[in-house]
Amino acid sequence: MTEILAIDSLKIGFISGKHENVLLPPLNAYAYKGELIAIIGRNGIGKSTLLKTITGLQPSLGGNIFYSRKNIKDYSRMELAHRVSYISTEIVKVSNMSVYDLVALGRFPHTNWIGKIDAKNNEIIMDSIEKTGLSTLRNRFVSELSDGERQRAMIARIFAQDTDIMVMDEPTAFLDIGSKYEILHLMKNISQQNDKTIIFSTHDLHMAINQSDKIWLILADKLIEGAPEDLMIEGAFDHIFDTSTVQFNAEHGTFTFRRESRGSISVVGEGKLKHWTERAVIRAGFSLSLSKTVPQILVPNEKNSKWQFLKNDILKEFGSVYDLITYLRKEYILPG
Amino acid sequence: MQKSLKINKQIERGNIFASGKRHKLIFTGLFFLVISFLILDIFFGSVSIKASDVLKAIFADTGSNLETIVLKFRLPKAITALIVGIALSLSGLQMQTIFRNPMAGPYVLGISSGASLGVAFVILGFSANISPANLAGLGNWILIAASWAGAGIVMLLVMFISSRVKDIMTILILGIMLASGISAVVTIMQYFSNETMLKAYVIWTMGSLGNLTSSQLNVLLISVSVGVLLSLISVKMLNALLLGENYASSIGLNVRFSRVVIFACTSILAGSVTAFCGPIGFIGIAVPHIARILFRTSDHKILIPGTILTGGAVMLASDIISQLPGSESVLPVNAVTSLIGIPVVIWVILRNRKYSDLF
């Protein structure tokens, strides 16, 4: 399998006056056909700059980019538009532009001098609109769409552009959580069903770990690439996102607040009830323990419909998790 | 089965064809509007001429005074109005797209002022014998070229600054500053010029469609035709630029080349008109919006011909109104275009107050 995109000792950054402001050490990475690749890195580390450099919208400061083994410098603007398409974080605001017209712009590299939409182009545009679930909205103006719908329309546009590689800069930023997952689902579908490589940047580590085929993790000193699981096993994420208040959980791929424990509690029981009771206990600031010597919570079972809290042979009963947690909070004041 | 598939296909392509039909209807309507305004413009004037005499003057060779009025004054004036309307509106449309600014137009951004600076250099700078009214041949081309250059320089300046400042209102204020600065320079030039030059220049600034010699009309016609041709070539570029330069580039547009083409086109269109008719306000900014309201599209394949027809119609209408049909007095056409254009501009400002960067 040959890579369709190769980044070789690429230096990215800005030129201001005669000064080269290189953001990162030389980067190396590869992309293969049909991969969904998430770019992860701290704010301001250069994700957008990397994406712009890959798409040829910004000159590189050194190194090479190869599309199907051919250097990006040997492509004309028009040839490149046949290989790679791009969505930035900029929100498109044009009045009187219908969804259809926006998607039709994706056909720009495929139409004649005046941009005539013939039957074949029309078919591709309609396919893209259908694929992104916008069929009923195609005559609506883009300015009237919700954030999620507009992002779909932008994806329809680059889908109509019909490139092997689609680059998206934070496609799920500004979206509510439902739209976030819908957009990601759409991206995953496109990459799998249409064999497109999608390279996108995101701040949502949890989503990237669970859904992408590969992660390009940008650190201050290097770019690490691999399957999300490989990076988890290597512990690549372990400390980069940690702050004084937030901690990355390498087992679940989630973040938790860092805080001092109010003490240890063991939760006894089974299934859903045990799981959610444990969650509540952790949220309240306790750590879980299996020891028999610490205070115990017995979750409701066949014999008993209440939560029982057992400490020093004193038993208290609670009708809901809420009541239980409220009691625990009062009983155990945070140390310090 | 076959049939239902076919119907399905029709529904699928409904977008293009439904709006296509609507567009055709509006195009036809506008076309007839332009023709009727053109005829009305020839029939009305400060001298009352009977319709039958107008027809006689056009189609029969009578050699009367009326014939002179119709053929030497009214017909060229009507044609000038048509050309001016087309040129200013097209240049406004292009500027609004390339600056992504609904308030862009040759007059408000100071492009017309730039052109008038070029004209001032020629009229005030050289000799009393040069005035738009008595120029002929090469002189006309010098005047128009100076006007293009002036328009082009201001255009570059606005472009340079608007690449740094994105806010629409800031750029508007900038346009006002540029126009004021230029008028200051012109005032200084006026101060040092002699009486005849001054008179020629002041008359020119009043803006008029009726003072063109036939050789000037030819020069204007040729220049604006070149501009219109360039604008047809720029249709696809303008569509790409709707999304901004990064997106335009990402779908394969050579942004630098497109800019040169559109710049040249706008400067030629606005500069040519300003050279011979003086600065005429608010047509360039208002007409593209009227065309957008009519056609409800952002596609320049529709907007460019739409703006051409709307611009011709609006300018002819302004000229008809300026003659105050039925009376013997004539208003300056500039006043009429302002009164027509300003409400449109205010409407656009009010509509956009929520999205200060929408166009």
**So where are chain B's domains?**
36-42+49-61+79-351
CA-based max dimension of chain A: 86
The encoded tokens of residue A33 equal 């056909």
pLDDT for A77 equals 94
Between B208 and A168, name the one with better pLDDT.
A168
Can you give the residue ranges of every domain in chain A? 5-249, 264-331
Query: Please, what CATH class does the domain formed by B36-42+49-61+79-351 belong to?
Result: mainly alpha
Answer whether A85 sits within 8 Å of B251, measured CB to CB: yes
Residues 16-75 in A contacting B (C-alpha not used; CB under 8 Å): 52, 55-57
Minimum-distance CB partner of A108 among B232, B233, B252: B252
Residues A47/A12, Cβ–Cβ less than 8 Å? no
pLDDT for B130 equals 55
Answer whether B243 sits within 8 Å of A55, measured CB to CB: no
- Average pLDDT in the A101-129 region? 94
Q: Which CATH number fits domain A5-249: 3.20.20.70, 3.40.50.1950, 3.40.50.300, 1.10.645.10?
A: 3.40.50.300
Query: In A220-284, at which residue ranges do the beta strands (DSSP E only) sit?
Result: 223-226, 246-249, 254-257, 264-268
Interface residues of chain B, partner chain A, Cβ below 8 Å: 12-13, 15-16, 19, 102, 232-233, 235-236, 239-240, 242-244, 246-247, 249-254, 292, 296-299, 301, 355, 357-359
Block means of pLDDT (10 residues each) for chain B, length 359 residues?
43 54 94 95 80 76 77 89 96 91 85 88 68 62 89 88 73 84 88 81 80 86 96 95 92 91 91 89 93 93 96 95 81 89 88 56
Answer whether B243 sits within 8 Å of A57, measured CB to CB: no
pLDDT for A242 equals 67
Chain B residues whose beta carbon lies within 8 Å of the beta carbon of residue A140: none
The strand pair at A287-288 and A296-298 is best described as unpaired
Alpha-carbon distances of B219 from A310, B146, B325, rounded to whole Å: 100, 14, 30
B112/A149 Cα distance (integer angstroms): 41
Minimum-distance CB partner of A115 among B239, B250, B292: B239
Chain A residues whose beta carbon lies within 8 Å of the beta carbon of residue B301: 114-116
Distance of residue B242 Cα from the nearest chain A Cα, in angstroms: 7
pLDDT tens, position by position, B211-245:
788 888 999 999 999 999 999 999 999 999 999 88
Phi, psi dihedral angles at A212 (to 5 degrees): -85, 155
Our CA angle for A112, A117, A121, nearest 5°, is 100
Between B171 and A105, name the one with better pLDDT.
A105
Our CA angle for A297, A303, A307, nearest 5°, is 25
Residues B189/B125, Cβ–Cβ less than 8 Å? yes
pLDDT for A276 equals 92
Distance of residue A214 Cα from the nearest chain B Cα, in angstroms: 24
Instruction: From B103, B90, B143, select the one nearest B341 (Cα to Cα).
Output: B103
* Nearest-by-CA chain B residue for A135: B12
Residues A100/B14, Cβ–Cβ less than 8 Å? no
pTM assigned to the model: 0.85
Of A180-184, A236-240, B159-163, B353-357, give the lowest mean pLDDT range.
B353-357
pLDDT for A320 equals 92
Query: A229: exposed, middle or buried (C-beta count within 10 Å: 0-12, 13-18, 19+)?
Result: exposed
Q: How high does pLDDT run on average in chain A?
A: 89
Our CA angle for B330, B334, B339, nearest 5°, is 100
The strand pair at A264-268 and A287-288 is best described as parallel
pLDDT for A333 equals 60
Answer whether A95 sits within 8 Å of B236, measured CB to CB: no
Between A227 and A249, name the one with better pLDDT.
A227
Answer whether B253 sits within 8 Å of A138, measured CB to CB: no
Alpha-carbon distances of B35 from B19, B31, B313, B323, rounded to whole Å: 24, 6, 8, 18
